[in-house]
Each structure stands twice: as C-alpha cells, then as structure tokens.
Amino acid sequence: MSEQTMRLGVIGFAHMHVNALIDDFDKLENVEWVACADTPAKTPSTSRAFGTRHANVQRSMEHTGIAQYYQDYREMLEKESFDLIIVCSENAQHAAVVEAVADKGIHIVVEKPMATTLADALRMVKAAERNNVKLIVNWPSTWMPGIRKAHELVTAGEVGQVLRFKYRNGASLGPMAYGQEITDVEKGQEWWHQAATGGGAYMDYCCYGANLSRWFLGEAAVAAYGLQANLNSHYGDADDNGVVVARYPKAVAILEGSWTMVHSGVSNGPIIYGTDGTMVVDGAKVLVYKERRNPEPTQVYDDNTLPVGRESLAREVQHHLTTGEPLHPTLDLPVNIDAMALLDAGLRSAASGELELVNDIRWTIG
C-alpha cells in the first residue's frame, strides 16, 4: 500500500477501546473516515454512560466527522470502499465480522482478544489468507515501553533461562467502574457481563498474559489449568475473576484477570523469574534483581522508549502497509494464534475441571 489517503471505517462499538483506536488513527496524515456500523447487541443496551456502546458511537462520529452510520455492517461493506476497518465488536462476533470484511479485500485491525475460541480464530486466519489481507490484533500492552525493554533484556539473557512468567491486570472493578453513573441492571445489559458474547474478566485480562507469555517464552504452551468465577457481579453470568496456569515446554506461566481488585499492591508485571535473577516490569520501568534476599534491585532501567515512527498502533499499521516490514510480533498472527490456543485450553479446563492440552495445530501463516 502506498502513502495515498487511507480510507477508514469502523465496525462495532461494544468495546470502549474503539475510542482510543479512532483517536490514534485520526492523528495520522492522509486518512479519510468513510463510514461506521455497529453489530447487533444480544441484549439491548439502555445506558448512555461513558464506555457503553451508545456513548462510543456518539463520541466516535462526533470526533471523526463520520457522517454515514449504517444499521447493518454488511450493507456498509456492499456500498462503501475501504482500505482498512477497525473491528471493536463483542468478542464473540469477531470471527463473523472479520470474515465479512476480509472477503471484501479490506485490511483489518481487530481489538484484543483475537476471538473467544481457537476455532473462531482459525476462521479469521483462513479468511485473511484466502483474501490476501492483513489481520492485525490490537494490544495496548504492545505500546508499553517497559514491556518492550524487558523482552529485549530477557532475549539478551539478563536473567538466564526463564522458568516462570507471571502477569495480572492492574486494579480493576470492571469496565463499567470508571466513574460512570450506571445501575446494576444497565451493567447487566452490556455485553461485558454476558458469557455468550465473550464477556468476562478471563477474556478481558487473561488474554494479555497469554499474548505476552507466548512472546516472551518464544514458543507455544502445551497444557493449561483454567478457572473462572463470578464472585461479585450478580447482574451478569460472565466471570469477574479468571486464572490460567500454563505449562510451556520449558517454563510455567501464571496469568490472572480480575474485575474485583481495588488495588493490586504490587506491580502487575510481567514478572519474569530466571535461573540468574528476577525481572519486574513496573509501569515504564524495568527492575532486575540478582541478589538473593536483597530487596533492592541490582539494576533499574527507567529511560525506555518506543521506536520513532512506530510508537503507536496506527503508526505501526501505516508503517507495515507502506513498507512491507514485519509487524511487531505481538500484533501478528503466529503469536496470536498460539495465545488463542492457550486461552481456549484454559476455558475448556475451567469447564472440565481437568488439565487440558493446548491444541498444537500448525498452520502456515503469512
């Protein structure tokens, strides 16, 4: 793709990350917002509070000046022409939307997690491959310089062989707990709290750990224990706490997600335990500990930055499409398919109560 004007569209306003993605792409030069459409909600939403789908639609159209809103995204795809579409639908609708977009020969940015099941993720991969389009998965964690630096240091052997990887989200009381005035009934109407739509803390937050552990450890997981629980969200049937304990070929990963955490008390990480030390990502800083029982870090890296010209999702996508240079690995399909396979195994384990094997299906991607 050349540096000509990029024609952009949006499908799905269920996930509030759509707001940040639109802001991000809107900063680029030579972009044209063509049209947008939402996906049909399983349960009608009545709240207009920040972060709800109604508020997301209104904000997005006002911010970008998109004049054309379609009730049916398939009609939009028939009538309009796009270079790239941002997909922020409910997780469970990712596969159907991505297939429809890919079949029109349009590049796609889909919000994390990639899908709700490995089967859906593979549908998406096949659609992108047969239409020769790029399918890019957005991860906010990719744009955290501390995480990038930690991966660089781990790759260089700073803490030796990695034996244990741990990640949990920061303090969260759920997606509708950021100052919104919203009732419990209205929360229950939002897809986040509905299991059938792919809602819940497990998919919302354990997915980060699945993506990052795969990237840091450099290979696919082989088995997983999973757990889901609804402890304090009586208005919905989706979990508000989830855990995955993953067995990698040479390491163990513990991935936690919670919507019931007032404060974490310690860094959410990642925390990487190796044969020669421990590495803690604390926001933009990376702390390395190499002395046993010494609470002070041996080394602190606190001047971490992102590559100039590729310091955001929008700029990374633009760079990739115009130059053909590879995407950051966390955004591309090989890492995301393996991460989705791990999440899928964890979900099966949560249902069965047993250790479940990660489906080790090798697909040619690229």
Q: Quickly state the pLDDT bin for 360 (edges 50, 70, 90).
A: low
For residue 365, pLDDT over 50 is answered with no
For residue 366, pLDDT over 50 is answered with no
Residue 174 in domain: yes
Range of the domain at 100: 6-139
Q: What's the pTM value of the predicted model, to 2 decimals?
A: 0.96
Percentage of the chain modeled with pLDDT above 90: 93
Residues 228 and 115 in one domain: no
Total domain count for the chain?
2
Residues 290 and 263 in one domain: yes
Provide mean pLDDT across the span 222-241.
Answer: 98
Tell me, letter by letter, the H, E, C secondary structure of the chain. Answer: CCCCCEEEEEECCCCCHHHHHHHHHHCCCCEEEEEEECCCCCCCCCCCCCCCHHHHHHHHHHHHCCCCEECCHHHHHHHCCCCEEEECCCHHHHHHHHHHHHCCCCEEEEECCCCCCHHHHHHHHHHHHHHCCCEEEECHHHHCHHHHHHHHHHHCCCCCCEEEEEEECCCECCCCCCCCCCCHHHHHHCHHHCHHHCCCHHHHHHHHHHHHHHHHHCCCCCEEEEEEECCCCCCCCCCCEEEEEEECCCCEEEEEEECCECCCCCCCCCEEEECCEEEEEECCEEEEECCCCCCCCCEEECCCCCCCCCCCHHHHHHHHHHHCCCCCHHHCHHHHHHHHHHHHHHHHHHHHCCCEECCCCCCCCC
Residues 220 and 182 in one domain: yes
Residues 194 and 304 in one domain: yes
Provide mean pLDDT across the span 18-37.
Answer: 95
Residues 214 and 168 in one domain: yes
Indicate which CATH number applies to the domain containing 67. Answer: 3.40.50.720
Residue 335 in domain: no
